[in-house]
Amino acid sequence: MSASAPERAEQVDSPEELELWRRAEASGDAELRGQLVERYLPLCRAIAASLYAKRIADDAEFADYMQYATLGLIEAVDSYDWRRGVRFNTFATYRIQGAIRNSIVNFSERREQLGLAYRLKKERIESIKHAGETPARAPRRGAVVREMADVAVIWALSYLLEGSGMLAPRGDAHYTEQFYDGLEMRQLKEKLVGLVDALPDQERRVIKYHYFQNLEFTEVAKIFGVTKGRISQIHKRALVLLREAHAIAGGIDLEL
């Protein structure tokens, strides 16, 4: 039986999406590829949440499901052929589900989970431990105090964003907070997560991939088509700008 017109319409991607796929393929532009990945992140989150809700063991956290889902999405973007007339959502759903299931099956040891958290933290520290401006020689004490304060604040921002993928979107069934956080800490974290959207494009995307999707710098570098070192630089700059955004918006509440 053939599908009716509205049903057929739902089986193909919108003209806007198809145009994006055409342009990405024709140009080979990493930026357009990144836009495609970002466009489908909500799908990724929905699939990860669905499988996480049906999990039969607690050896992996939601953040792990999100990471594997995002990697599955990236593979789907790279292998999708829009000419075949299959909607990307349909094509990607199977691949994202497969990526999560395969990874979770291979993920039986808690050590691997700790390994990811350790790697993520280590590369953040490497990226930000020289957050301040380094004086050439014999710096004034005030300059040293400021530089050390810069390092501490940028470092704190990284801690505050850690696990923030669980904060967004609010109202999500998987919204969680650190059990020891009170109102002030929760509001600060929510404000910072909201201010990520104010960052310039490149910085915003690096923060979202790394902190919200739990991708390592190497994986983010593959999406951007640049080196891991470059991502590390953008990450540090993003935290510096996020600090400034917080200072500018300090007297402003986010409508969450």
Partner 1 sequence: MDPISQANPVLDALRRQLAENIERLRRAGKLSAGTRNAAAARSPASPESLEAALRRKLAAIDRRSPDGLSAATRSFVETVLVAEFGAGLLTDPGFGQLAAELCDSLRAEPEVREPLERMLAEL
Residues found near partner 1 in the complex (CB under 8 A): 125, 129-134, 141-146, 148-153, 155-156, 159-160, 178, 180-186, 188, 194-195, 197-200, 203, 233, 236-237, 240-241, 243-255
**Distance of closest approach, residue 63 Cβ to partner 1, in angstroms:** 18
The token pair at 103 is 């990874």
As a whole number of angstroms, the distance between CA 65 and CA 96 comes to 10
As a whole number of angstroms, the distance between CA 166 and CA 169 comes to 8
Instruction: Give the contacts of 250 (CB within 8 A, at least 6 positions apart).
Output: none
Q: Which is nearer to partner 1, 15 or 182 (CB)?
A: 182
**Distance of closest approach, residue 78 Cβ to partner 1, in angstroms:** 29
> Are 192 and 242 contacting, i.e. CB atoms less than 8 angstroms apart?
yes
As a whole number of angstroms, the distance between CA 256 and CA 253 comes to 9
Query: How many CB atoms are located within 10 Å of the residue 195 CB?
Result: 21
One-letter identity of residue 30:
A
Instruction: Give the contacts of 123 (CB within 8 A, at least 6 positions apart).
Output: 216, 217, 232
